[in-house]
Amino acid sequence: MMNNLFLIVLLCTFISCKKEALESEVILKKEIVKPRVQPEGKPTNIDSVVVISLHNKVLKDFYISTNYRTVWQSEKKRKIILAELLKSDEEGLNPEDYNLKTLYDFEKRATTLDSLDIAEYDILLTSCLQKYISHLTNGRLNPRKLYKNWDLKENYIDLNATVALLLQTDSLAYTIEQLKPNHIVYKRLKKALRQINAFPKDDFKPIKFTKIITPNDTNPSLIAIKKRLIYWKELQPKDSLSLVYDEETANALKKFQSRHGLAADAKIGAGTIASLNFSRNQRTQQILVNLERWRWYPKQMGKEYIIINIPDYKLTLVNNNDTLRTHRVIVGRAKRKTPVLSSKLTQVVFNPTWTVPPTILREDVIPAILKSRSYLTQSNIKVYDSNGRIVSPYEWQLSQAKTYRYVQSPGTFNSLGMVKIIFPNRFSVYLHDTNHRDYFDKIDRSLSSGCVRVDNPLELTEYILNDEVNWNLGEITETLQNERTKFVNIRKEIAFHLLYWTAWSENNKLIFRDDIYNLDAALYDKLRN
């Protein structure tokens, strides 16, 4: 048991992506000696030319470390690896990516293979295992090549050291399990995949939306709607279905709406019809792409962290795996998407000023000024030229408009509200209050220009600052009332993750959210190709 624990601790060092470890990892990469693999049993020699001809540096380095000898003499370990590759579909991966047919054919003939086949089998098994480990820890695709506004560091793993570790362990299956993402959302996605695979095939035709249907209405579409609700197990099966929107159907529909992030009002509108029209196959694809995303995300979120799910419009604060707070949020609209990133909280700004960013300046502020110069005064925006001189609204010139700096003064009218929470990132986004708090009551909260607006931000700020004497809610309120900008450093170590996922499972129920940035279908196509 102690041996297994030691191996797991070692394994964690290979897959850790904590920011504070990155510099030391760079040093280790320079100093580390490739693992000297001591194969068990009687190894077979491998022709180095065969390995070199595969043009796979990682694979070549591995067999250099074995002195070009086979390593998988143990039938037990080979079969454990084959079983892991076979059930890779449980992780949302494709078993066909790992040459299973060829591998199993080799295994069936293992006792009769000649030395050349033994070598070929060994090389192929190592190569497929390395690929599987890479897929588990970093996904099949690279988000840094797919999205300009995703800033996720690669989860560092030394494939050869990890394979060497797997060769040494006496608990191979358990050790491979530790390579998989261990976050609760990933586990819930795996459960969602099992759940959706248990549903029968569907042959539903799209329901057309013509008008909103409310309880007690009679409508020809209700037959199809009830069949969908029965299929998704929201409504009990019936011998016959009527065209009347009865109370039982209304209650079932509210459960369906709640699972899909819709207003649970029993009104059957365009959004509800759109969710009902998703097929089982489409929902399966949605789960698969979200499993892939979670293999991109940090393996270690931090002891205490804030995580925001952009499509769910929700901020969650977690400490030691316990959820301590949740807040509704407003995120960027489709044209000004909120980026995906990981960082850490560093500073709170009370009574912040707001310097208008280039996109909002170009698309919103300049057009508003052209309509009326009074816009600047009404919005409490001061304009500064390159010398720091204030430019009055009537001196403002369109030809110089993009050279000016536009700063909104602090106050309740400020676009950032009363508080801003900073985390370092290359997109210049942050958490902040808002002067439109009524927006939090909306179901679709994809409304901002990229930053994240937080409901009840003062309570969150009090928790983050963690200073009952100097920064309790009373002191914060007093600071805000003087309307002077004040910067306060955050002393607690709180990681921050802005992420994107549209499916999971909760309380044995499938949960889905609108793909507000239209990323799911495109990602599935890339995974399939």
**pLDDT single digits (tens) 250-306:** 999 999 999 999 999 999 999 999 999 999 999 999 999 999 999 999 999 999 999
Residue 9 has pLDDT above 70, yes or no: no
pLDDT of res. 413: 85
User: 17 catalytic, yes or no?
Assistant: no
Q: Spell out a b/e string for 27-51, using b for 16 or more CB atoms within 10 Å of the CB, else e.
A: eeeeeeeebebebeeebbebeeeeb
Distances (CA, A) of 34 to 29, 60, 112, 298: 10, 11, 33, 25
Residue type, 303: K
Residue of 151, 466, 499, 465 whose CA lies nearest to 301: 499
Catalytic residue status for 451: yes
Q: Which pLDDT value is given to residue 446?
A: 97
pLDDT score of 38 more than 70? no
* pLDDT > 90: percent of the chain: 88
> What is the phi/psi pair of residue 35, to 5°?
-60, 135
Min mean pLDDT across 21-35, 212-226, 285-299 is at 21-35
Q: Two tokens at 529?
A: 């190709």
At 242, the pLDDT band (50, 70, 90 cuts) reads very high
Contacts with 403 (C-beta within 8 Å, 6 or more apart), sequence order: 385, 386
User: What pLDDT does 529 receive?
Assistant: 85
Q: What is the DSSP letter of 391?
A: E
Q: What mean pLDDT comes out for the span 449-459?
A: 96
The pLDDT of residue 178:
95
**Could you tell me the pLDDT band of residue 27, with boundaries at 50, 70 and 90?**
very low
Neighbours of 286 (CB within 10 A): 23
pLDDT band at 34 (very low <50, low <70, confident <90, very high): low
Mean predicted confidence (pLDDT) in 183-189: 97
Residues 458/419, Cβ–Cβ less than 8 Å: yes
Q: In the structure, what pLDDT confidence band is assigned to residue 201 with cuts at 50, 70 and 90?
A: very high
The mean predicted confidence, pLDDT, of the chain is 92
Q: What per-residue confidence (pLDDT) applies to 134?
A: 97
- pTM for this entry: 0.89
Q: What is the mean pLDDT of residues 152-181?
A: 94
Amino acid 249: pLDDT: 97
Coil vs helix vs strand at 329: strand
**439 touches 453 (CB < 8 A):** yes
Q: Which of 17, 128, 451, 497 is catalytic?
A: 451
Q: Catalytic pick from 128, 432, 436, 497? A: 432
Residue 3 has pLDDT above 60, yes or no: no
Is the per-residue pLDDT at 85 higher than 50?
Answer: yes
pLDDT of residue 39: 62
133 pLDDT more than 90: yes
- What average pLDDT does the segment 341-354 reach? 97
Q: How confident is the model at residue 37 (pLDDT cuts 50, 70, 90)?
A: low
Query: Residue 486: is its pLDDT beyond 60?
Result: yes
pLDDT band at 33 (very low <50, low <70, confident <90, very high): very low
End-to-end CA distance of the chain: 42
What is the reported pLDDT for 483? 87
State the pLDDT confidence band at 16, using cuts at 50, 70 and 90. very low
Q: Is the pLDDT of residue 22 over 50?
A: no
Instruction: Kindly state the average pLDDT of the residues 369-383.
Output: 93
Give dist(CA 88, CA 83) in Å, integer. Answer: 9
How far, rounded to the nearest angstrom, does the alpha carbon of residue 207 sit from its chain's CA centroid? 31
Record the tokens describing residue 14, joined without a space: 């290979």
28 confidence band (pLDDT: 50, 70, 90)? very low
pLDDT for 174 equals: 95
Distance between CA 58 and CA 158 in Å, rounded? 9
Instruction: Give the position of tokens 């509108």.
Output: 269
Residue 158 confidence (pLDDT): 96
